[in-house]
């Protein structure tokens, strides 16, 4: 096959970005609309309700705080992974990427304990619209975390082969995965105060 | 200007790529193969959606009378039951919008033509492109499969308003899951389209040298990218309502079949409508913008003039795309959301009609003083203008709150938007089919059959939707299984018979189209198909059909604007022509 797609590893001279980077920004714009619609729904449901609870009376704020720290740290290690590639250090990349994946799993484990404690106390999505929107939004966010883990795990071991054939393109891929990861992190930073604290 | 045949395209060496059948035709990453896959799937769905409507129209015109030929296969007594009528209605809308027109306008025409018109070898993300089609295909299969589920297909309308949709039979869950697939597909597609149009333009092809069709596809992709996710969010919420027992759209104390539902309540059914129409109004422009793009290409080619006010047209569609995000609640004037909000959306609705009128005026002024060639695609494009005008003008009374109160939820609404989508968009898509068929296949179609198809379609569509406006103005509700039991509807019942006969006439015209398609495909390839309309845009400088995977034997370079035609002689300057 002789098809050659330009600007896969090098940025377009005019737009200054690679195809993948422009693509991920567009994808994130669409994600903003997805979560934006859910946050809007939360507002509509809340202002229409007479007995909307304060999140901290039902949800576990310390656990969520720990999870916030975990996610922010994972964003940091994600940047370090990308920076290690920029510094030509594949070994450090693997370490930081491994840490990122580990922290993502830690987030999910904490989330699992939160969920099971709720269900154990007989609190399910059907209990109230507050719990309904809590489970829906954190659940959808959890799915995004899982998606991130899949992508990062691929870039960690099997996808890293590309480092030897096209290091520029591989670094670009890690950067794009990082942009997604920061977005998922950012969504949580909005979810935490909105659901747990307000 | 020099006549440009053969000078600018070196012929491809035609070396065969060694690809197996599956890679070449089924799981291909070639945007042209994917475009054709989209086209075939969409055509099948359009015919299916049309078929459902033929059955419904029989019931509307001849209530309680057995459907001829296939009635006995559908129900025991051969009469379309109210349950089936509701299912067909919901699925007609869903199939036509999400599986028919959009995949045809964007998936097929956009996929095939956008990379060619910008001189690219393929889309920016060929594998995502393939994934986009197959995700769409799975979504389509789920929608089809819902017909076989207990309780029948989804029956809450294509809008799936809760609380009705929340308590509907299980197939509504399939509808929601199917929609998630279709939304994912459109997300993959729209990212791909935008990146391709921005990054992969040939050297020299600046934004204001882009063919108008590319601009319409670009704006359409932005609409799909940003408007669909809120519907996905709404779909997730409704899915939770149905599966996990939440009450996002369920008010407290809802009584169904004489019993108060046990759910927690406190939800807001109007929330769904806001989220749904936040998608579905931009969706209207997703349906019409590619059609405008196709009509623009055809009209400019066949008038032998540059497009009148090309820059204005481009700004108009960008403005149109932006405005389409803030008009959605004009679908909801009757929900009691208050006069202040209604006034806002009434004002934005009046404003959004302005860019549409600008574009239509530009097309009309392009015709002025032109040497018009009445080719088959041109007939469709010319017919689009008055049809879209009727569709647009009949929308004004619906956009004004005072007149909407009377017309809301009558057949007038159905007549209005079908004038936009059916004699509007579908005529344009058919025109686009005839316009690009020679380049895609290397074969010419039968002109006489093409003209017969045009007149049959034009007359048939007007025979259906013209009387529909009158039935609506008489006050007949759009959702009645048998309106003839109401005194007010009796006087307009003969019009329903006219509409039903027109729909058969329209069906017969489509048989001509299919016959033409199959006859033309069996014909040998002809050099006459190289550039039969003497067009300037880049797709006509590619080999016929364009080379698999790489389109152009040598990547083209662009030296001029898209429409350098000449009314006084047959000369024209293709975009890739260097010297004048």
Q: Write the CA distances from B71 to A131, B51, B67, B76, B78, integer angstroms.
A: 49, 13, 4, 8, 4
Query: How far, in Å, CA of A99 to CA of A76, rounded?
Result: 10
Average pLDDT, chain A: 96
H/E element, B260: strand B259-260
Nearest CA to B162 out of B141, B180, B143, B176 is that of B176
Whole-prediction pTM? 0.95
Nearest CA to B185 out of B240, B284, B106 is that of B106
Q: What is the structure's pLDDT at B8?
A: 40
Task: Find chain A residues with C-beta within 8 A of B279's C-beta.
Answer: none
Does the distance separating the beta carbons of A33 and B229 come in below 8 Å? yes
Does the distance separating the beta carbons of A4 and B267 come in below 8 Å? no
Question: Number of C-alpha atoms within 13 angstroms, CB side, residue B555?
Answer: 16
Task: Find chain A residues with C-beta within 8 A of B198's C-beta.
Answer: 15, 22
Q: Select the residue from B236, B253, B274 to test the A interface by mutation, using most A Cβ atoms within 10 A.
A: B236
CB B115, CB B555: distance < 8 Å: no
Task: Find chain A residues with C-beta within 8 A of B190's C-beta.
Answer: 26, 30
Nearest CA to B518 out of B454, B437, B455 is that of B437
Query: How far, in Å, CA of B455 to CA of B509, rounded?
Result: 8
Q: At residue B296, does pLDDT exceed 70?
A: yes
From B233's Cα to the closest Cα of chain A, the distance in A is 6
Q: How far apart are the first and last CA of chain A?
A: 57
For chain B, give the percent of residues with pLDDT over 70.
Answer: 97
Q: At residue B327, does pLDDT exceed 70?
A: yes
Q: What is the structure's pLDDT at B569?
A: 85
Radius of gyration of chain B (CA): 24
Q: What is the structure's pLDDT at B488?
A: 82
A2 pLDDT band, cuts 50/70/90, is low
Q: What is the structure's pLDDT at B1?
A: 36
Q: What is the structure's pLDDT at B540?
A: 95
Task: Find chain A residues with C-beta within 8 A of B225's C-beta.
Answer: 26, 29-30
Alpha helices in B160-248 (DSSP H): 171-199, 212-243
Residue B427 burial class via C-beta count within 10 angstroms: exposed 0-12, middle 13-18, buried 19 and up: buried
Record the tokens describing residue B248, joined without a space. Answer: 């996002």
DSSP conformational letter for A160: G
| Average pLDDT of the residues in B138-145 | 97
Peptide bond into B288 cis (omega under 30): no
Q: At residue B9, does pLDDT exceed 80?
A: no
Q: At residue B71, does pLDDT exceed 80?
A: yes
Determine if residue B375 is left, alpha or beta; phi over 0 gives left, psi from -120 to 50 gives alpha, anything else beta: beta
Q: At residue B15, does pLDDT exceed 50?
A: no
Does the distance separating the beta carbons of A124 and B244 come in below 8 Å? yes
| Average pLDDT of the residues in A131-149 | 97
| Average pLDDT of the residues in A40-44 | 96
CB B132, CB B189: distance < 8 Å: yes
The better pLDDT of the pair B266, B320 is held by B320
Record the tokens describing residue A149, joined without a space. Answer: 């883990």
CB B433, CB B482: distance < 8 Å: no
Q: At residue B313, does pLDDT exceed 90?
A: yes
Does the distance separating the beta carbons of A30 and B229 come in below 8 Å? yes
Tell me: the pLDDT tens digits for B23-50?
A: 888 999 999 999 999 999 999 999 999 9
Does the distance separating the beta carbons of A48 and B268 come in below 8 Å? yes
Tell me: the pLDDT tens digits for A152-196?
A: 999 999 999 999 999 999 999 999 999 999 999 999 999 999 999
Nearest CA to B445 out of B378, B501, B526 is that of B526
The better pLDDT of the pair B556, B69 is held by B556
Q: Which of A107-116, B19-28, B51-60 has the lowest mean pLDDT?
A: B19-28
CA dihedral B522, B528, B533, B537 (to 10 degrees): 100
Q: What is the structure's pLDDT at B360?
A: 96
The better pLDDT of the pair A3, B420 is held by B420
Q: Write the CA distances from B98 to B236, B246, B413, B492, integer angstroms.
A: 18, 27, 19, 32
Q: Write the CA distances from B95 to B107, B244, B326, integer angstroms.
A: 15, 27, 26
The 3-state DSSP class for residue B564 equals: strand
B5 pLDDT band, cuts 50/70/90, is very low
Q: What is the structure's pLDDT at A198?
A: 87
H/E element, B259: strand B259-260
CA dihedral B436, B440, B445, B449 (to 10 degrees): -60
């Amino acid at each position: 096959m002789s098809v050659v797609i330009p600007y896969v590893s090098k940025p377009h001279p005019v737009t200054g970005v690679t195809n993948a980077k422009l693509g991920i920004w567009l994808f994130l714009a669409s994600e903003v609309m997805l979560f934006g619609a859910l946050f809007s729904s939360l507002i509509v449901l809340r202002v229409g309700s007479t007995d909307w609870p304060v999140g901290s009376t039902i949800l576990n704020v310390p656990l969520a705080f720990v999870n916030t720290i975990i996610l922010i740290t994972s964003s940091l290690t994600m940047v370090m992974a990308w920076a290690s590639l920029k510094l030509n250090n594949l070994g450090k990349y693997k370490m930081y990427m491994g840490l990122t994946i580990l922290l993502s799993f830690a987030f999910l484990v904490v989330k699992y304990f939160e969920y099971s404690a709720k269900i154990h106390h007989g609190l399910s999505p059907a209990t109230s619209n507050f719990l309904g929107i809590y489970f829906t939004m954190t659940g959808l966010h959890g799915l995004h975390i899982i998606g991130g883990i899949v992508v990062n795990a691929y870039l960690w071991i099997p996808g890293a082969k590309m480092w030897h054939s096209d290091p520029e393109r591989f670094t670009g891929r890690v950067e794009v995965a990082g942009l997604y990861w920061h977005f998922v992190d950012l969504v949580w930073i909005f979810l935490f105060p909105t659901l747990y604290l307000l | 200007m020099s006549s440009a045949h053969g000078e600018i395209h070196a012929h491809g060496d035609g070396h065969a790529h060694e690809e197996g059948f599956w890679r070449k035709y089924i799981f291909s990453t070639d945007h042209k193969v994917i475009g054709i896959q989209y086209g075939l799937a969409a055509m099948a769905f359009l015919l299916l959606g049309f078929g459902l409507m033929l059955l419904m129209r029989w019931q509307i015109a001849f209530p309680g009378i057995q459907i001829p030929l296939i009635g006995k296969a559908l129900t025991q007594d051969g009469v379309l039951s109210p349950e089936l009528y509701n299912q067909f209605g919901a699925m007609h809308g869903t199939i036509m919008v999400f599986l028919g027109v959009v995949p045809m306008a964007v998936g097929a025409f956009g996929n095939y033509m956008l990379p060619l018109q910008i001189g690219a070898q393929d889309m920016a993300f060929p594998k995502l492109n393939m994934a986009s089609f197959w995700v769409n295909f799975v979504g389509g299969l789920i929608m089809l499969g819902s017909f076989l589920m207990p309780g029948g297909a989804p029956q809450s309308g294509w809008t799936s308003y809760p609380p009705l949709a929340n308590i509907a039979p299980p197939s509504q869950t399939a509808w929601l899951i199917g929609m998630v697939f279709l939304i994912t597909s459109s997300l993959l597609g729209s990212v791909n389209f935008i990146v391709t149009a921005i990054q992969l333009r040939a050297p020299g092809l600046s934004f204001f040298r882009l063919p108008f069709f590319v601009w319409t596809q670009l704006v359409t992709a932005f609409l799909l990218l940003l408007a669909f996710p809120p519907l996905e969010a709404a779909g997730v919420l409704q899915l939770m309502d149905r599966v996990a027992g939440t009450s996002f759209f369920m008010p407290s104390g809802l009584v169904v079949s004489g019993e108060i539902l046990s759910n927690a309540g406190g939800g807001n059914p109007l929330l769904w409508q806001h989220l749904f129409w936040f998608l579905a109004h931009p969706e209207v422009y997703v349906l019409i913008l590619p059609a405008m793009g196709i009509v623009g290409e055809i009209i400019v080619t066949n008038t032998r003039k540059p497009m009148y006010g090309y820059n204005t047209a481009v700004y108009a569609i960008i403005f149109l795309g932006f405005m389409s995000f803030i008009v959605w609640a004009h679908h909801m004037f009757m929900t009691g959301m208050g006069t202040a909000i209604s006034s806002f959306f009434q004002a934005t609705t009046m404003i959004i009609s302005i860019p549409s009128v600008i574009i239509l005026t530009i097309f009309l002024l392009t015709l002025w003083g032109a040497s018009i060639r009445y080719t088959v695609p041109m007939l469709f494009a010319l017919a689009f203008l008055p049809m879209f005008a009727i569709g647009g003008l009949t929308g004004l009374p619906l956009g004004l709150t005072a007149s909407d109160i009377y017309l809301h939820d009558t057949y007038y609404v159905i007549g209005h938007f079908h004038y936009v989508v059916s004699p509007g968009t579908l005529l344009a898509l058919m025109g686009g089919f005839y316009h690009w068929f020679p380049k895609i296949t290397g074969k010419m179609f039968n002109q006489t059959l093409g003209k017969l198809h045009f007149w049959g379609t034009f007359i048939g569509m007007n025979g259906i939707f013209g009387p529909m406006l009158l039935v609506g103005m008489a006050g007949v509700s759009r959702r009645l299984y048998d309106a003839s039991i109401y005194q007010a509807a009796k006087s307009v019942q003969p019009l329903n018979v006219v509409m039903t006969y027109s729909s058969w006439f329209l069906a017969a015209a489509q048989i001509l189209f299919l016959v033409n398609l199959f006859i033309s495909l069996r014909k040998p390839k002809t050099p006459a198909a190289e550039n039969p309309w003497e067009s300037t845009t880049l797709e006509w400088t590619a080999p016929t059909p364009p080379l698999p995977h790489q389109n152009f034997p040598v990547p083209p370079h662009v030296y001029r604007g898209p429409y350098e035609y000449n009314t006084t002689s047959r000369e024209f300057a293709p975009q890739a022509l260097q010297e004048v």
